[in-house]
Amino acid sequence: MINILLAILALSILIVIHELGHFLFARLFGMRVEKFFLFFDVKNFKISKKIKDTEYGIGIIPFGGYVKISGILDENMDKESLKEPPKPYEFRSKPVWQRILVMLGGILFNTITAILVFALLKTIYGEPTILSKQLENGIYVPENSLGYELGLRTGDKIVSVNGTLPETYEAMINPQIFLKDNPYYEIVRDGQKQKIQIPADFVGKLSKQKRGEPIFLPRFEYSIAEVAPNSVAKQIGLQKGDKILSLNGVKTLYFDELKACVNENKNKHITLKVLRDGNEIELKGSLGDKGLGVIPHQEIAEKVITYNFFEAIPVGAVEAWNFVVMNVQGLRKIFKGELSFSENIRGPLGIIETFGQARNNGGWFGFLKLTAIISVILAFTNLLPIPALDGGHVVLLLYEGITRREPSIKVREIIQVVGFFIIIGLMIFATFNDILRFFR
């Protein structure tokens, strides 16, 4: 319930920020703003208060928000007022460039919000990373992972991704690389170079993957970080800091090798060669069917890049831009039929669910990062040239600026109605899709 309430609060704040962008630009250019609402109001079903010329309130229909500016034909469909002569404070009386800035105000504010949140996270948490050059031991690919399904195997060394070697491990598994045309990994296996082609539907599979299930992991040497109480490891004398060199004569330099050996020797007597304080010792015991009971400490040190807030702003801007690029590439793949529309579209319920997952798995970092991502998506979506969205209004204003002729009220009314039904149709589909996904 807390996750749901926090998600609704975050979405509401992003909507208010978006509408505030329209509101402030309208006021800057001397336009009268009649209403500023979170959600949509229906007659008397609202909570509101009028301050000077503007009514501020919360509507009953929990769908977006809106700012009603005098002299504009928008989702309010107030066409009667447009039949009167233009008044100096109306939207239609202002120069085209000012009206375009008013329509882009919400997009601009959502974008700025995303950049600032990304920058704040970079400032507080830094940017933990593992450099590509630290993967000299190759990668670890669990058999139930998407990497294994691709054809990657434990011990492979990544030498390029789409023709170049990323600087970091995180960049090697960034979803953006899979949205490019004909993406691939180039690897070295047993001294031979191979090309692992990534199928077009891979991003769709990636979107269904649970958080924390990697495509592949760095392969690392390890020491024991923790020994579980009442475990086999405890009984035979393993200690924190030990390095297990071999199990029954099979070397276990990497943790994946240890796991494989343990699985092969369940319910058997085992002999371990262990490095402790620079000395090799031998430990013996019987392995049950539940494993050793140790937690490894990886010997790859994560590098944490730190920023002050002002240094983090351009980094946050790059991260916001990368999400815009990912959305463009994702839409292109949907239109090409390479990605399923129904499986990659989220409605309000799906977004709220994702917020809960982000907070459960990543704490406040995950929650705030998703808030920034949703802010980018709101900006990008509103920029699309769909009638009734901000991008649709901008297209009409650009037409007016180029031709010096404003489309007739009738034409604009038809465009608004068509856009309204497109948006409502998409919202109904996405919500229904969320419900189906929940039951699946």
Token pair of 251, please? 């070397």
Amino acid at 201: D
> What phi and psi, each to the nearest 5 degrees, are found at residue 73?
-95, 105
Domain 127-218+301-305 belongs to what topology?
Answer: Pdz3 Domain (2.30.42)
CB contact at 8 A, 66 and 74: yes
Percentage of residues of the chain with pLDDT beyond 70? 95
Classified as helix, coil or strand, 257 is helix
Amino acid at 233: A
In which band, very low, low, confident or very high, does the pLDDT at 410 lie, cut at 50, 70 and 90?
Answer: confident
Instruction: Measure the CA–CA gap between 306 and 60, rounded to whole angstroms.
Output: 44
Supply the pLDDT for residue 193: 93
Owner of token pair 């400490």 = 297
> What phi and psi, each to the nearest 5 degrees, are found at residue 360?
-65, -40
For residue 344, pLDDT over 80 is answered with no
Residue 209 DSSP code: S
CB contact at 8 A, 316 and 116: yes
Q: Which residues pair with 226 in a beta bridge?
A: 295
CB contact at 8 A, 270 and 285: yes
Percentage of residues of the chain with pLDDT beyond 90? 35
Q: Where is pLDDT greater, at 280 or 421? A: 280
pLDDT for 161-218, tens place per residue? 999 998 888 889 888 888 888 899 999 998 999 999 998 878 777 766 665 577 898 8
Instruction: Measure the CA–CA gap between 314 and 321, rounded to whole angstroms.
Output: 10
Supply the pLDDT for residue 250: 92
* DSSP codes of every residue in 61-120: EEEEEEEEETT--STT---SGGGSPP-TTSGGGS-HHHHHHHHHHHHHHHHHHHHHHHHH
Domain 222-298 belongs to what topology?
Answer: Pdz3 Domain (2.30.42)
For residue 300, pLDDT over 80 is answered with no
* DSSP codes of every residue in 331-353: HHHHHTTSS-TTTS---HHHHHH
Length in residues, the chain: 440
Token pair of 427, please? 């919202």
Supply the pLDDT for residue 98: 95
CB contact at 8 A, 211 and 136: no
Supply the pLDDT for residue 157: 94
Report CA 389 to chain centroid distance, whole Å: 22
Q: Nearest Cα to 419, choosing from 397, 439, 391? A: 391
Average pLDDT over residues 45-54: 86
Predicted TM-score of the model (pTM): 0.76
Please name the helix (run of DSSP H) or strand (run of DSSP E) that holds residue 394, with its range, or none. Answer: helix 390-403
Q: Nearest Cα to 84, choosing from 76, 74, 92? A: 92
Candidate from 104-113, 141-150, 413-422 with smallest mean pLDDT: 413-422
In which band, very low, low, confident or very high, does the pLDDT at 152 lie, cut at 50, 70 and 90?
Answer: very high
Instruction: Measure the CA–CA gap between 169 and 147, rounded to whole angstroms.
Output: 14
Distance between first and last Cα of the chain: 22
pLDDT for 10-38, tens place per residue? 889 999 999 999 999 999 999 999 989 99
Q: Is 293 left (phi over 0), alpha (psi -120 to 50) or beta?
A: left
HSE (side-chain half, CA atoms, 13 Å) at 117 = 22
- Supply angle C-alpha 286, 289, 291, rounded to 5: 80
Candidate from 59-68, 206-215, 338-347 with smallest mean pLDDT: 206-215
Residue 286 DSSP code: E
Instruction: Measure the CA–CA gap between 1 and 273, rounded to whole angstroms.
Output: 51
Average pLDDT over residues 283-310: 84
Q: If you average pLDDT over every residue of the chain, what do you get?
A: 86
Supply the pLDDT for residue 208: 67
Instruction: Measure the CA–CA gap between 91 and 22, rounded to whole angstroms.
Output: 12
Q: Nearest Cα to 159, choosing from 188, 197, 189? A: 188
CB contact at 8 A, 2 and 363: no
